[in-house]
Amino acid sequence: MADRIKVYPPKPAKVYFFGTCLVDLLYPEAGLAGIQLLEREGIDVLFPQGQTCCGQPAYTSGYHDEARAVAAAQLDLFPGDWPIVVPSGSCGGMMRTHYPALFRDTPQQDRATEIAGRVWELTDFLLNVCHIRLQDLGEPTTVAMHTSCSARREMGVAGVGPTLLGQLSNVTLKEQVRAEECCGFGGTFAVRHPEISGAMVSEKVDALVDTGAHHFVTTDCGCLMNIAGHAEKSARPLSGQHILSFLWERTSSGKGGNVK
């Protein structure tokens, strides 16, 4: 469940960046875009080199001991008292919402709870902590948007993406009729229940195509991979992009960022 009342911190001088597995392996441009957006806001971005997986795949499959072992390796990566930003509502939800329960009654309980309290989904952080203001440098275009289940229900950021896109003067956002429905990915859900997952993503692609937009953005790489992959396989006129990449491309003058 998402925080009932969010207390946003003041804009910090530094943040830790937790990159996620899918960003690292499949969509590094989304991670780099997130870093560049933060740096443009005057924030120093720290990227712990030892980071791996948040532990969610094992956790949602019922392997809590294995998830705890993976997650425990992340707890010492963030020693400073800086916010931890995550370009994924799914991984952010695991860390912020489930770490306290995962480590309850263990020696790492206090540390896990402290870490969880510093975790923020990155678009939420940009909008409500950095108070980012975007200047659209792109040509007029129309997009649709999908917000992941975890981003919507665990991190409470369903309205953040549309608000950010609304700052882009040349972007028209078309709302899909299945905005609150899952795309069918769900991590290992797509592997364990491929027929159900396939039906769900097919309906999601239909809903996005029916908006008339040929491009969609999303806050999570798992959803991006699932939806865009199905659209390509079924020859539907729909391409996808992480919202961070989209925001950076629309507002960038070509300057890059640095990872520490």
CATH number at residue 227: 3.40.50
Residues 97 and 190 occupy one common structural domain? no
Looking at residue 26, what DSSP letter applies?
Answer: T
Q: Which pLDDT does position 192 carry in this prediction?
A: 84
What does the pLDDT read at residue 255? 44
Residue of 258, 251, 174, 168 lying closest to 216 (CA atoms): 174
Q: In 10 A of CB 7, how many CB atoms?
A: 6
Please state, in angstroms and rounded to a whole number, the distance separating the CA atoms of residues 145 and 161: 8
Check residue 254 and give its pLDDT.
58
Same domain, yes or no, for 209 and 119? Answer: no
Average pLDDT over residues 33-45: 98
Give the pLDDT confidence score for residue 4 in this predicted structure.
54
Gap between the Cα atoms of 26 and 115, Å rounded:
26
Helix (H) or strand (E) run with residue 146 in it: strand 141-146
Give the chain's domain count.
2
Residue 6 has a pLDDT of 85
Q: Is residue 159 part of a domain?
A: yes
Of the residues 128, 159, 192, the one at which a domain ends = 128
Strand-pair category, 44-46 with 14-17: parallel
Question: Is residue 120 domain-shared with residue 156, that is, in the same domain?
Answer: no
Is 109 in the same domain as 160? no
Q: Would you say residue 136 lies in a domain?
A: no
Mean pLDDT of 225-254: 95
* Average pLDDT score over residue span 116-120: 97
Q: Is residue 51 part of a domain?
A: yes
Q: Provide mean pLDDT across the span 72-76.
A: 96
Query: Which of 99, 128, 157 is the C-terminal boundary of a domain?
Result: 128
Confidence bin at 5 (pLDDT 50/70/90): low
* Residue 42 in this model has a pLDDT that exceeds 90: yes
| 68 & 160 share domain | no
Q: What is the residue range of 220's domain?
A: 141-251
Structure tokens at 203: 């309906």
Q: What pLDDT shows up at residue 32?
A: 98
Whether 246 is covered by a domain: the verdict is yes
pLDDT tens digits, residue range 169-193?
A: 999 999 999 899 999 888 778 788 8
- Residue 256 has what pLDDT? 40
Q: Are 64 and 168 found together in one domain?
A: no
Domain boundary among 128, 160, 176: 128
- Average pLDDT, integer, range 66-93: 96
What's the pLDDT at 260?
Answer: 39
SS3 121: strand
Judged against a pLDDT cut of 90, whether residue 92 lies above it is answered with yes
- Percentage of the chain modeled with pLDDT above 70: 95
- The residue-averaged pLDDT of 134-155 equals 95
| Start-end of H helices in 97-169 | 99-102, 109-116, 122-128, 149-153, 160-166
pTM (2 d.p.): 0.93
Residues 112 and 147 in one domain: no
Q: Indicate if 112 and 44 belong to the same structural domain.
A: yes
Specify the pLDDT at position 3: 54
Tokens 């992480």 map to which residue? Answer: 242
User: Which residue type, as a one-letter code, is found at position 74?
Assistant: Q
Question: What integer best gives the mean pLDDT of the chain?
Answer: 93
Does 59 have pLDDT greater than 90?
yes
Checking if the pLDDT of 258 tops 70, the result is no
**Cα–Cα distance for residue pair 71/74, rounded to 1 Å:** 5
> Rounded mean pLDDT of 102-113?
97
